[in-house]
Amino acid sequence: MRYKKLQVKEIPKWSGYLREQWRRHFAKHLTKEEQLSIGMDCFLWYLCSWKKVQCYTNEEAIDAFNRQQKKSCTIFYQYTDEAYLIEKAESLAIQELPYCRQHMYYGDIYIMDKEYKWTFVMTHEIACGPYFIQS
């Protein structure tokens, strides 16, 4: 990440907690069984690809993320314990995200507003996403 004015703090081993918070806030309208039936135990973003939530996709998702007022947010991945807290995130842009589409484990990146007002997801699959959900 190019750090501009961003305040980036590593929060190791928070990924599991953040994934659960993501599920709790953005998929709360689905039961645990419904979440499992669409494969959210594998990939949280299946919520979007299965059209179980209203969201922006592709360029509209990128535009929504770039336009979004960002104060504090978290960044986490699907399968690693790496996680970050970004303070003073106003200048955070898509080009600065630590993301690699070619690597499945690092390819699924979730950026979530600290107050759970929105989330932006980039997946490892070229044909899927990115997605932007606003609650």
Q: What is the pLDDT of residue 6?
A: 80
pTM for this prediction? 0.89
Residues sharing a CB contact under 8 Å with residue 75, sequence separation 6 or more, in sequence order: 83, 84, 86, 97, 98, 109, 110, 111, 112
**pLDDT value for 1:** 46
Closest to 81 (Cα-Cα) out of 16, 127, 24, 131: 16
- pLDDT of the residue at 96: 72
Q: Are 130 and 57 in contact (CB under 8 A)?
A: yes
Instruction: For residue 63, give every residue at least 6 positions away whose Cβ sits within 8 Å of its Cβ, in sequence order, or none.
Output: 56
Average pLDDT, 10 consecutive residues per value, the chain (135 residues): 72 93 98 97 96 97 93 92 91 74 66 96 90 95
pLDDT recorded at residue 4 = 60
The pLDDT, as a whole number, for residue 91 is 84
Question: 3-state SS of the chain: helix, strand, coil percent to 5?
Answer: 30, 20, 45
